[in-house]
A and B are shown apart, each in its own frame.
Chain A
């Protein structure tokens, strides 16, 4: 197994638990009940036979309600689908240890499943940097990306021998670029010559460089790095574009069909077999905690959300708010399309609350006083939100002017998200498109102009642009211009790299390319914008431990009250039952109520039909409840039965996520049934 570069970095705090062996992990020495032993479950294997393993945390013994680990509401944590996202794998692995050590009490009536290395073959390659140091997290698989009958024949090449695959910037046009039909697309940013940006033709600029991944046209077909590991296309399957919800069919890396790879298929089969998963947390490049995905968007044929359901938005907002409190994160960085991702599958098909975070967010999006390493407990107790988030302030101001929530979200998105959002407009149905246009036309003039500019990919003129006098919102933030140096995501990264002295950027150096002539090679070190420096890792793990603990506390928790019996007449009995959800989240997300993958909560009176149908004179034999709302909401059912005193009646509770159980009720004056 590859060694973990972060392994030595342990949180500098007194430990309550002692590491025992690699296999059995920990025994808790605190005076509390012994922490449950984690169990490793192999759910599948990669094509090369590497195991796909889930660690299950939770007491395997029946609890006070008689439920075992797989019957208690569970959080599933998945990391490493995109294997270069090493911080996700490391954090997920560390969480098992930390939760047992610090939050064992939360695991008595809840379960956590952790799949920390969902793409072990990809992880092995990512770790094998000498050979494969390109920024890709795919699952290795021979491919013919350019469909020429040859497989993986043109991967990138480490031309300058620095052990990294970076970029080439190629002056163009030259006879060589003309020969290769390479058109210039970028200029060197005059404000920071390390950065490349698109030219502004209206300001007299014209493109001077083409940008390519470092490499040769190894197969002399006129294309560079078009078929191989880490190249422009090819190089295996992207497991996060390989799930069946909005699967981007016939695109590079999506696979011949969804779940072609056993790694992805085994997660789906395993998760669909579990009834107890109520929430999923994904560590990977998708960030739905920094910015909640748009609600109510349904690409054709029209019912499967590309973001979230309207009904789930309050809960996502709430969890996102809590995440920001714990981490100091103020927004999401670049987040890839969710089409075909595990995250979107878990939400829109498995039908449970699903959250995604890169664990480490671009530093300029994190408040300075909440940088990793700050004491976790303090971070939790004092929500570091003294000064209002400018984005939030702007959102509030817009909302105050009557701007609909999704347009507010659109305006206050990061440019990257907005680009993704704009791209998704093309998938809108005509009806959705008309509805959107109507909403935009109804906006105040200045806001409409701003939205139209943004929707056409223009720079944000800012909230001040044309706000009528007297109606001006409080100044929220300076107008942003994507092309200004220092404002692009890459510029932000460079700023951080410079400030922290991180070895994260290979400065452009001339190189005499055998096919293209003089070029420069340089750019970001692969993975530097994905995985934080080692010294930040303990703090990030602290944050995630606190977040996951808080998430567990907010998960739905269903309490079933034993049935009660009343005598209504000589042989006529009323039997009643109720259940309460004392978690914050509802038992079933809005998407789950739509997806209906699981059966509702059912109180089944006399499931073996020992009472003849004509003696059950009130109530339905199966009482069904699609959801029990959170914060103490409850549901009730009652039945009228003709029977003799002393008769016994069974009631089955089928609670899917919360475990099945049964009660035997003896009919006598005002007695409660006993749990079985």
Chain B
């Protein structure tokens, strides 16, 4: 792939002009871009619906969106990835950004944010300058559902806001030698696991006289009418514990080969790194696509833009040069995402060993963030946690009670008549549907910003000098106008991926070497293969490297200089051996 050429730019302009003409409305309102596949962004979608939207987008924009299955989940579902880039271009030849969501399937809005990203990129390509340029220069690999099995389980089977975080691989969670023998029980059949209360003259709780949905503890020494029996469920295996052995045991976000630790150090780690077919499929895809230069995974909740390390002993794996990149992107992200904070996983959250986004940082060496979608401040769009009263008001007056299941009497096999009800699985972690589009857009925009800072190279100044006879020097300056370097310090220090290559062909290269700047005149000599130079440090972000070749050739000969990087589009320039005018 060559750098965006003048022709490409011209084609882009014509497309935009055509789109504006097609809209053809007088310039009174902001022109509306009609999508060829509209999707409502005020609701959540099942696995089947997301799959069908992805395929519909592929049909509507076949030259922009390609949907590929990169493997099968544990239960045999396809793992769909949308490859999004400009028509007629090779995504492998461009820097690409990986984006995924719902590795924790209960963190559902992550999938809608991913789907929105595909939809927006496809819809606005050719209509919006920025989006067009992003897809011309870069590619996106977007995987809305990492854990389809568990998303199916969350939607179709009884769940809480917090359950179905793990995948569905069987685990003996209570170490009794039996697997999955005491899963959850949805006693009132509402699809959510809520609370159980038992009428008890010696109980410790009473119901609030104005709002019976609220149970209140009585003062010490008094008796109330109710005893709290815990989460809705049955002790199916008679071991004295309720619903303690379902499928929640294996956390795929602890299953990655960077600081992976066994279960007794990191709960949920899985049998070994990449032991889940889902994580392995992503890993193999990423290793096979060394053009991935940016990484984003979506989770909920808390309003965070997180970077690694997940554990303090890995701090040295984030060299200072890389942290400057993280900080610049993360701080702007805080501005784009109100009430989101840019934080460090181990320092500000908790220790995570073998996490996905930290694997991308430490294992692949790319700049990688995890966004924790939704935060309580968003309910009333003001700082601080709302009070209980405000939360009931929100549920009643803004959500019209849809996140609460009224208490009903149920016959329990061990406890007799009990009251079951409470906040349902939609209540706390998922973005309220009427606010979903904004959440999706702001996060998508953050990834567009991040993607747009992947390396973009150009040959800046070049200079040819005649040293007499058939001896010449050819000096080139390779500039990266973006924040992210072609090789992060992590890639260089850990030895990840192929070094960048700077080659000169068309003349015999006698020797060559790097210069510390354009006006430097002493090279740091490359004594072996001076015409094919390995540059492990690449081109820095918002900076340039200067290299000088000493070549033998006849006046007027043309040499070709090429810069090739895994994480940038290759660039080539032809240079004639004739003295450059003084600059």
Contacts and interface: CB of A to CB of B under 8 A. Distances in A.
Interface in A565-604: 594-600, 602, 604
Given A250-B494, A595-B263, A600-B175, A621 B271 contact: no
A606 B273 contact: no
Contact of B258 (A249, A272, A606, A620): A249
A601 to B, nearest CB: 9
A622 B257 contact: no
Interface in A324-355: 348-349
Contacts of B260: 244, 247, 258
A602 B496 contact: no
B257 A621 contact: no
A604 B176 CA distance: 9
B384 to A, nearest CB: 34
Contact of A247 (B257, B283, B351, B499): B257
Interface string B500-539: 0100000000000000000000000001110000101000
Contact of B363 (A217, A257, A621): A257
A304 interface: yes
Interface string B247-286: 0000000000111111111000001111000000001000
A441 interface: no
Contacts of B274: 257, 259
Nearest to B529: A221
Given A247-B260, A596-B264, A609 B283 contact: no
Interface stretch (A80-88, A142-150, A372-380, A522-530): A142-150
Count class of interface residues, chain A: 35 or more
Contacts of B536: 147
Contact of A244 (B236, B273, B287, B311): B273
Contact of A622 (B239, B258, B363): B239
Contacts of B172: 599
Interface string A290-326: 0000000000111110000000000000000000000
A37 interface: no
Given A220-B528, A269-B271, A244 B257 contact: yes
A149 B260 CA distance: 29
Interface string A433-445: 0000000000000
A119 B449 CA distance: 47
A249 B271 contact: no
Contacts of A301: 259, 261, 265, 311, 313, 351, 353
Contact of B283 (A257, A349, A429, A613): A257
Nearest to B501: A149
Interface string A118-148: 0000000000000000000000000010011
Given A258-B272, A621-B239, A348 B262 contact: yes
Nearest to B490: A250
B408 to A, nearest CB: 24
A656 B262 contact: no
Nearest to A595: B264
Interface residues of B, number: 45
A570 to B, nearest CB: 25
A50 interface: no
B240 interface: yes
B88 interface: no
A256 interface: yes
Contacts of A250: 494-496
Contacts of A247: 257, 260
A401 interface: no
A650 interface: no
Contacts of A272: 271
Contacts of B494: 249-250
Nearest to A243: B272
Contacts of A604: 176-177
A607 interface: yes
A86 to B, nearest CB: 28
Nearest to B236: A609
A272 B270 CA distance: 11
Given A257-B273, A258-B273, A269-B271, A621 B177 contact: no
Contact of B177 (A144, A304, A654): A654
Nearest to A298: B265
A640 to B, nearest CB: 15
A6 to B, nearest CB: 34
Given A249-B494, A595-B263, A604-B176, 7 more contacts: A244-B260, A244-B262, A303-B265, A304-B265, A596-B264, A602-B176, A622-B239
11 contacts: A147-B534, A149-B501, A220-B529, A257-B257, A268-B272, A301-B353, A595-B263, A595-B264, A598-B175, A599-B172, A620-B239
Which 8 A/B pairs are nearest by Cβ-Cβ distance? Answer: A222-B528, A300-B313, A654-B177, A257-B257, A609-B238, A599-B175, A250-B494, A599-B177
Interface of A: 144, 147-149, 179, 217, 220-222, 244-245, 247, 249-250, 256-259, 265, 268-269, 272, 300-304, 348-349, 429, 594-600, 602, 604, 606-607, 609, 613, 620-622, 624, 654, 656, 660
